[in-house]
Amino acid sequence: MAPLDGLKVVDLTRVLAGPFCTMMLGDMGAEVIKIEEPLHGDESRGWAPAVGGWSTYFLGVNRNKKSVALDLRLDAHAEALRRLLAQADILVENFRPGSLAQLGFGYDEVARLNPRLVYCSISGYGQTGPRAGLSGYDAVIQGESGLMDVTGQPDGPPTKVGIAVTDYLAGLYAAQGILLALFERQRTGRGQLVDIALFDCLVSALTLPAGIFFGTGEAPARMGNDHPSIAPYETLRARDGLIIVAAGNPRLWVQLCDAIDAPHLASDARFATNADRLRNRGALKAELESRFARYPLDELLQRLEARNVPCGRVRSIADALNDPQLNARDMVLTIDHPAIGEIRNLGNPIKLSGTPGINKRPPPALGEHNDEILSGLLLPARP
């Protein structure tokens, strides 16, 4: 039995943070019922690129769900949702704060309908505070949080991270908050509101630059691929490509020097301690790259790995996704899709030894499960 088997999730989310959260719950056995507006559904269904008429964006975060098409402005459709919520364990929504309350589905109304329900709201800035009413999107939050200010080259502009990191963090925090609320419900019998803000989530990940600011009063600057507190912990050039080296303690620094036949560097006064290496980072890079240039990248990696020095290539997405390690860990799933054949998804990184879960149902067509879900509520399939 999957760990969340028997739990029913009503999913009123779209695009990424919410769908990522509910997919994680569905992977582990929860029944996830995705409520979509009838005409277009989740807007990401229309986002390019597409395979066989299906958005790759939508396919990536909507497996293990059932789709029901409802227009909550219509009385019959709103009644269908109420009946679903009366039976549900979890509601996840990412409307702008206040929007669902206007439709009669705010937290207070739904808690009266089903006091055991865990109600998770994901929004840009949360349900409270002076910015609560504002919309929030990943790119905006990356800018507002300060993340862009510490990302990029020192002489370049602030830079966005290459993925929607805000949404993924929010989805993970939402799933964690939901599980915490379910655990509490076992003791009290009552659900509660889980309030997740994209802004909070991304700021929470800035512990290193925040610690520098809190401790020194100075905001850290952009440092490209350098680390503000450790050296060498960065990308360096070998003869035929870039390598990432992470010598995060004195032992690893000595092992790195041994691996490249340069024990004299470990005893060089300029590089004796981590603080010394940070002060003399330019000279350190020059010395290391001079030694690295003697080796093809493959040989350099072998030398470092043989001495347990953390290191790696700077790989393309294609190279990374073809790594046999991912297949060994079930991190690339092949799913049979009735409309377009086999699709590949990234797997769930949570590996449980006793109840692994990981269902593999394909993402649903818009309204695909109206008949199944609504007839079970004694409602017409097309209310």
Q: Which two tokens stand for residue 229?
A: 């507190």
Out of 40, 77, 227, 264, the active site residue is 227
Q: Which two tokens stand for residue 14?
A: 């779209």
Q: Which two tokens stand for residue 176?
A: 């964690």
Task: Report DSSP state, residue 285.
Answer: H
CA dihedral 243, 249, 255, 261 (to 10 degrees): 60
Beta-bridge mates of residue 51: 54
- Angle, helices 250-259 vs 297-306, to 10°: value is 130
Contact between residue 138 and residue 16 where contact means Cβ atoms under 8 Å apart: yes
* Cis amide linkage into residue 115, ω under 30° from 0: no
**CA distance linking residue 163 with residue 143, whole number of Å:** 14
Residue 121, SS3? strand
**CA distance linking residue 28 with residue 64, whole number of Å:** 9
Task: State the residue for tokens 């999730």.
Answer: 9
Q: Which two tokens stand for residue 31?
A: 């029944």
77 is catalytic: no
Pairing of strands 241-246, 311-313: antiparallel
Long-range contacts of 239-243 (CB under 8 A, 24+ apart): 239/292, 239/293, 239/294, 239/295, 239/296, 239/297, 239/300, 240/296, 240/297, 241/297, 241/313, 241/314, 242/313, 242/314, 243/292, 243/297, 243/300, 243/301, 243/304, 243/311, 243/312, 243/313, 243/314
Q: 160-193 burial, b if ≥16 CB within 10 A, otherwise e? A: eeeebbbbbbbbbbbbebbbebbeebeeeeebbb
Query: Cα 182 from chain centroid?
Result: 21
Cite the active site residues. 227
